[in-house]
Amino acid sequence: MLPDQIAKWWIIEGEHGIKQMVEAALPPIAGDGDDRMNSILAMLLAGAMDCWAIMNEDQVIRGMLTTTFTFDSCTNTKNLLLYTLYTVEETGPEDWKEGFDRISKWAAGHDCQNVVCYTQNEAIVNNALAVGGQIWSYIAFPLST
């Protein structure tokens, strides 16, 4: 989505705006700061994150995905992080294959070595495995500040 589309669809009263969908799907690395959603909006508007609309056949938004690049400085590896994923309708393996093919080609075109994500959602894990994903564990030790 372009920045003007993101701004237009950021908050929608009584519906699923981008802000509501992102907030519902935040990964464990997001923290709980008061300004986290403003930071995400700023990153989206600046082009440091991307927002992808998931559309149905009638061109109605079924959900959205946000992505950003991450770098492993130890190995100089660039990856595409699927930061948030939210759907308002159920998705199946066919949707995942089509979406993953599209996003992985885009990531490869931006010199990424992997497409990565965090999830606790069993359906996402199963769909990721169906398109060739590998499952690793992520452990977080929240620190009190």
pLDDT in tens, 93-105: 788 888 889 999 9
Report the distance separating Cα 81 and Cα 20, nearest Å: 20
Helix/strand/coil percent split, the chain, to 5? 35, 25, 40
> Among the ranges 6-10, 52-56, 69-73, which has the highest mean pLDDT value?
69-73
For residue 81, name the pLDDT band (cuts at 50, 70, 90): very high
**Residue 94 CB burial class (10 angstroms; 0-12, 13-18, ≥19):** exposed
DSSP-assigned letter for residue 30: G
* pLDDT above 90: residue 78: yes
Domain limits of the chain?
3-130
Q: In sequence order, what are the residues at sequence separation of 6 or more whose Cβ sits closer than 8 angstroms to the Cβ of residue 8?
A: none
CATH number of this structure's domain 3-130: 3.40.630.30
Instruction: For residue 72, give the H/E element and its range.
Output: strand 61-72
pLDDT in tens, 91-142: 777 888 888 899 999 999 999 999 999 888 888 888 888 888 888 887 878 7
